[in-house]
Each structure stands twice: as C-alpha cells, then as structure tokens.
Amino acid sequence: MDRKELIRQMKQQVGIAAAQRVQDGMIVGLGTGSTAAFAISELGRRQREEGLKILGVPTSFSAAVQAKQEGLELRTFDQIDQIDLAIDGADEVDPHKNLIKGGGAAHTLEKIVDGWADTFLVVVDESKLVEHLGAFPLPVEVLPVAVYAVMEQLTKLGGIPQIRLGVKKDGPVITDHGNFVLDVQFPNIPDPPKLEQTINNLPGVLENGLFVNLADEILIGRLQGETIEIISQV
C-alpha cells in the first residue's frame, strides 16, 4: 500500500473515531477538509443506521453541501445558543495543541465555530504533527481593498506573503465571505499567540489561521507497524 493511501485511511479512521464521540441530541460544529469530511460521512451513516439525531453547524459552504447530502439537519448561528462539540481538522499541530488551519480557506468561520464549542476536537493524521508551527504557510483572510497594504505589513513582520490563486480559474481564491487569502511563509513562528494577535490587529485583516488555546483534544491517526491506531492528545 502506498503512502497516499495510508494517509487516506488514517484520515478516514480518525474521522470515524471523532464522529463516534457525538451523542444523540448534540449540536455539532462540522469542520472543513478531508479528515473532517470523513467525520461528516460517519455522522450521516449513524443517523441513517442508528437513528442518531443531531443538529450541525457547518464551517463552510463545502461542509454544508456534504452535510445536506448526508441528510443532516443544519442550523446557523442565529438559530442556536451553543455548540456542544466541534470536529475539525488542521494543517499543522504543535505539542502545545496550537494549530495552523486554513488550507481550505475556511479558517474564519472555523475559528468562530471551533472557539464557540464547549469542546473542540481536532482530527489529524500523524503527518500534521510538528515541533514548531510554520512549515505550512499561514493563511490570512484579507479584504480585497486592503490586500497590498496588508502584504506590506506582513513582509515587515518577517513573512513572505502570496495571494492564493484559484485552481481552474484565473485570479485569486475568493472565500465564502468574498475576501482574498494570503498565504504567508514565516521562517519560524516562535510565539504563536503574539503573532496571531499582531496579524489580526492589521487593518484590513479579517482573520488568520493560527488557532491558539482553542483545541481541547487532538485525535491522531498513526501508523503502528502495519496497522493504524488512534491516539489522543489532551
């Protein structure tokens, strides 16, 4: 079995394990990305086969589309007063449970949903574990009118910003909120809380992909010999 297929299976198994944490009657934040997608699929299966009843709060248009296809009932923020559990992936996870998210350009709503949840459960495969954040470029959602001014300020902070371009389309990626995404490569991120706050204070920035002090538990799919095991970091 090649590495790509092993990673897919790790994502699938950790997504399923996270969905098994959901209890009947919960309001669940539905994350964005390949690992969270497996959790949404499992929630759909549990609803069809086990009679599980939940309400889902999607973190992106793509998560909402998949959830509807699975038959899950969805709510928006103005229809609920709490989120019991949020299940979401990450692009990087450090030993302190700090994250980089936003590879799918959904980090602004993800941070709102994940931060509002009573419990934020992160689902990743072992390839996402790092000693220090920064190998993955940091996504920053920016108002289009401010993109070049923000790029200049991010450069002064030591980053190398690039406008994320669309695939199979000309021009930049447009977020669900109608904004641009800058992918900023930093040589290292020694102080994630400080950088998160500094970037978010730049005029024109809506949100960045540093998730600091939000994750309650990390579920990790890990290859152990020829089998895949799920471990928990709390």
User: Active-site positions?
Assistant: 110
Token code pair at residue 48: 């069809």
CA angle (64 as vertex; 62, 146 as ends), nearest 5: 55
Chain Cα centroid distance, residue 92: 10
Check: CB of residue 196 under 8 Å from CB of residue 156.
Answer: no
Rounded-to-integer distance, Cα 147 and Cα 116, Å: 28
Residue in 82, 93, 111 with CA at minimum distance from that of residue 177: 111
Rounded-to-integer distance, Cα 213 and Cα 196, Å: 11
